[in-house]
């Protein structure tokens, strides 16, 4: 019986390595490093970037040559900027069709991230001012001494704190701490994040990425199915919570968007 070649149906790095203008991708020995950026400097969150990451996470998960994934940023911040609350309120007023499109993307963004079935390490180079759920959903979270965490774009920016923030933050921080964080715009320093279990290690900024690579090489010593099944098992509770509550959270966030100018 002739051997059937199935590799032609698989996603390859060459299919997507140069596709995303806000993400630099480099792979060595099966370790994929993804660096989020805007014009080579710290990542500035945008609607365009949101769409890129939704598809990128899908492609990373479909590429069987990715064995460990490192997520990092560049420049002085991991993500930003802090939006002006008044302008943010106006920018986020959406039509029905816009809310429907964004809601589809929101669901797939985080589910595609969690469906990547190899271990993920985040190397947080500085303050995470927008969408802190992305790096802390990684299995190992490393933070520079300059890192801090803030949800600047949701409740204090005039939005219901959906997008999975309502799931991730209370789960990782504890219910009361999570709600306080989301409702007040609290800034959590790297040291505080370590104390509450938000991050696993704090390092000098110039050592964070090297430490991520060292851990990634250690992880590669395990057999492939051990790596993949460990990731699957250790993210199962998060996926269940996302399946149950993510769409509900965005539904309320989207409803709030349609009345963004009301008080």
Tokens of 148: 């801090």
Q: CA 148 from chain center: how many Å?
A: 15
Rounded distance between C-alpha atoms, residue 137 and residue 128, angstroms: 13
User: Which is it for strands 188-189 and 148-149: parallel, antiparallel or unpaired?
Assistant: antiparallel
Q: CA 259 from chain center: how many Å?
A: 27
Torsion of CA 87, 91, 93, 95, to 10 degrees: 160
253 is catalytic: no
Closest CA to 122 of 96, 140, 149, 99: 140
Neighbour-count burial for 7-23, b at 16+ CB within 10 Å, e otherwise: eeeebebeebbeebebb
CA quadruple 23, 27, 32, 35: dihedral sign: negative
* Beta partners for residue 38, in sequence order: 41
**Of 33, 54, 77, 133, catalytic:** 133
Rounded distance between C-alpha atoms, residue 106 and residue 161, angstroms: 13
Backbone phi and psi for residue 211, each to the nearest 5 degrees, phi listed first: -65, -40
Q: Which residues form the catalytic set? A: 133
């Amino acid at each position: 019986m002739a051997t059937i070649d199935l590799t032609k149906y698989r996603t390859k790095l060459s299919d997507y390595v140069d596709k995303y203008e806000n993400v630099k991708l480099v792979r060595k020995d099966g370790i994929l490093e993804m660096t989020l950026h805007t014009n080579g400097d710290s990542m500035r969150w945008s609607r365009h970037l949101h769409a890129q990451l939704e598809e990128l996470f899908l492609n990373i998960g479909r590429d069987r040559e990715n064995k460990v994934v490192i997520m990092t940023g560049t420049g002085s911040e991991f993500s930003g900027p802090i939006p002006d609350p008044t302008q943010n309120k106006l920018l986020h007023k959406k039509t029905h069709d816009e809310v429907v499109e964004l809601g589809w993307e929101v669901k797939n963004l985080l589910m595609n991230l969690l469906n990547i079935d190899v271990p993920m390490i985040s190397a947080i180079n500085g303050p995470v001012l927008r969408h802190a759920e992305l790096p802390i959903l990684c299995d190992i979270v490393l933070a520079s001494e300059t890192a801090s965490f803030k949800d600047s774009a949701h409740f204090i920016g005039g939005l219901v704190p959906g997008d999975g923030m309502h799931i991730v933050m209370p789960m990782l921080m504890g219910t009361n701490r999570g709600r306080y964080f989301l409702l007040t715009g609290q800034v959590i320093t790297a040291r505080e994040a370590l104390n509450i279990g938000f991050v696993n290690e704090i390092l000098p900024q110039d050592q964070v990425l090297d430490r991520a690579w060292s851990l990634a090489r250690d992880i590669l010593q395990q057999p492939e199915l051990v790596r993949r099944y460990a990731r699957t098992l250790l993210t199962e509770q998060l996926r269940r919570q996302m399946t149950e509550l993510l769409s509900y959270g965005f539904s309320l966030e989207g409803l709030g968007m349609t009345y963004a100018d009301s008080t």
